[in-house]
């Protein structure tokens, strides 16, 4: 670790920590988030490491394609210069940290000789000086890094580093658990695809073979009536194959009515992630009841409009959409960690017009919508309708 010592340096030691009787509860909450949402867990971890020494900002990067780390969560930044930054191994402070698999800190990022300076211009936009990077690793496998930074020359004490390392270890387990869950889901989907392929092969292939044999046998027939009768049989067999394939396709696409809303929200989240590169996670908190078409469409319209607003205005790193049914109401909540919106903004005007129209549709069904927003925690849009079925529109 570098030992540059500018005159105005401030050292963060254990005395700078903010003790709280709620620390254990906060840690438990972060660990429980493993069961619901990886992105939320990273956001919570970023908040906790920033609070450890009252640092100006925090970043969390995850190792992704080709071993590159991408900054996916941030707290306290003044610009988007470091947002979604791609960091190769060994480059800059975080890249050096994941290469060495150990904490690395500098008193003054811009002048330290122990790191590369590929990102100096971006760091300078944030006016950062002292920075610490701690790798998130599990059993020798590096999954990313956590950073904290100050806008003054700073050192970092051993106990502060140890505190952040502890949170980094928990975060590594979170990421690994999410990756394993995704792998298991993909394996299950692959097994289902294989089962359906085998089913189609077993039911359709013999019929197609018979059709081919029948067509070959027609060449030996001279009687026009016999040819006509045989063609009629083949036609019936073709219709049977067509019906079998249609049934299989229906089985693939059909879902019970109570699954229409959660499946639609999941598809919208996936499309948003593919379109923007911003992770959007759907978390069903309860089973969804069977809703009529108008209520499903109203809630899904709200989700889509909220995601559009995140894409256009929020500069968020993550989005979480949840669905729950409690006390006779079905509620969707769309939360992002981006810039808050002006609380005085009329949702029926300008950039919020889509949300206003979605709110009007919910109100006509006896439901409603609320928007809570601030610069620190982003924006949360909540919409709800009664679970009772009503007339379709």
Tokens of 223: 């009687």
Tell me how far CA of residue 367 lies from CA of 38, 263, 386, in angstroms.
Answer: 30, 21, 6
More confident residue, 392 or 41: 41
pLDDT tens digit sequence for 236-271? 777 777 776 766 666 555 555 445 788 888 889 989
Name the least confident of 282-286, 293-297, 324-328, 329-333.
Answer: 282-286
Distance, CA of 58 to CA of 60 (rounded, Å): 7
> Given this model, what pLDDT does residue 339 score?
78
| pLDDT-wise least confident of 84-93, 154-163, 340-349 | 340-349
Compute the C-alpha angle 101/182/85, nearest 5°: 45
Q: What is the pLDDT of residue 233?
A: 77
Distance CA 317, CA 211 (A): 56
Mean pLDDT value across residues 218-225: 69
Residues 6+ apart with CB under 8 A from 276: 311
Strands 69-75 and 86-87: antiparallel
- Residue 350: per-residue pLDDT: 45
3-state secondary structure labels for all residues of 182-198: HHHHHHHHHHHHHHHHH
Task: Tell me how far apart the alpha carbons of residues 82 and 209 are, in angstroms, rounded to a whole number.
Answer: 61
Average pLDDT across the chain, whole number: 79
Question: Virtual CA dihedral for 14, 20, 24, 27, nearest 10 degrees?
Answer: -70
Residue 200: what pLDDT?
Answer: 66
Residue 8 pLDDT > 50: no
For residue 349, pLDDT over 50 is answered with: no
CA atoms within a 13 Å half-sphere pointing along the CA-CB vector of 307: 29
pTM summary value: 0.51
């Amino acid at each position: 670790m570098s030992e540059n010592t500018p005159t105005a340096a401030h050292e963060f030691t254990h005395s700078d920590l903010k003790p709280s009787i709620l620390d254990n509860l906060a840690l438990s909450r972060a660990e429980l988030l493993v069961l619901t949402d990886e992105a939320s867990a990273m956001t919570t971890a970023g908040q906790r490491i920033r609070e450890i020494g009252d640092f100006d900002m925090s970043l969390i990067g995850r190792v992704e394609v080709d071993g590159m780390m991408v900054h996916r969560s941030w707290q306290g930044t003044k610009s988007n210069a470091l947002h979604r930054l791609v960091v190769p191994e060994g480059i800059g402070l975080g890249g050096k940290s994941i290469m060495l698999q150990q904490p690395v800190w500098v008193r003054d990022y811009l002048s330290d000789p122990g790191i590369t300076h590929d990102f100096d211009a971006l760091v300078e936009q944030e006016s950062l000086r002292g920075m610490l990077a701690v790798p998130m690793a599990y059993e020798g496998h590096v999954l990313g890094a956590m950073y904290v930074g100050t806008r003054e020359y700073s050192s970092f004490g051993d106990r502060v580093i140890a505190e952040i390392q502890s949170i980094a270890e928990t975060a590594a387990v979170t990421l690994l658990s999410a990756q394993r869950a995704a792998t298991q889901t993909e394996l299950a989907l692959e097994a289902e695809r294989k089962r359906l392929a085998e089913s189609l092969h077993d039911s359709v292939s013999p019929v197609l073979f018979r059709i081919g044999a029948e067509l070959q046998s027609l060449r030996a027939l001279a009687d026009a009536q016999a040819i006509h009768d045989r063609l009629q049989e083949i036609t019936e067999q073709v219709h049977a194959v067509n019906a079998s394939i249609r049934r299989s396709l229906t089985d693939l696409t059909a879902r019970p009515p109570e699954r229409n809303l959660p499946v639609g929200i999941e598809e919208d989240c996936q499309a948003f992630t593919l379109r923007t590169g911003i992770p959007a996670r759907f978390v069903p908190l309860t089973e969804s009841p069977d809703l009529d078409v108008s209520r499903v469409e109203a809630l899904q319209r709200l989700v889509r409009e909220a995601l559009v607003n995140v894409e256009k205005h929020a500069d968020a790193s993550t989005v979480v959409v949840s669905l729950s049914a409690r006390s006779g109401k079905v509620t969707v909540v769309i939360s992002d960690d981006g810039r808050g919106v002006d609380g005085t903004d009329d949702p029926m005007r300008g950039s919020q017009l889509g949300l206003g129209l979605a709110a009007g549709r919910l109100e006509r069904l006896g439901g409603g919508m609320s928007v809570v927003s601030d610069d620190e925690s982003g924006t949360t849009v909540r919409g709800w309708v009664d679970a009772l079925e009503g007339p379709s529109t």
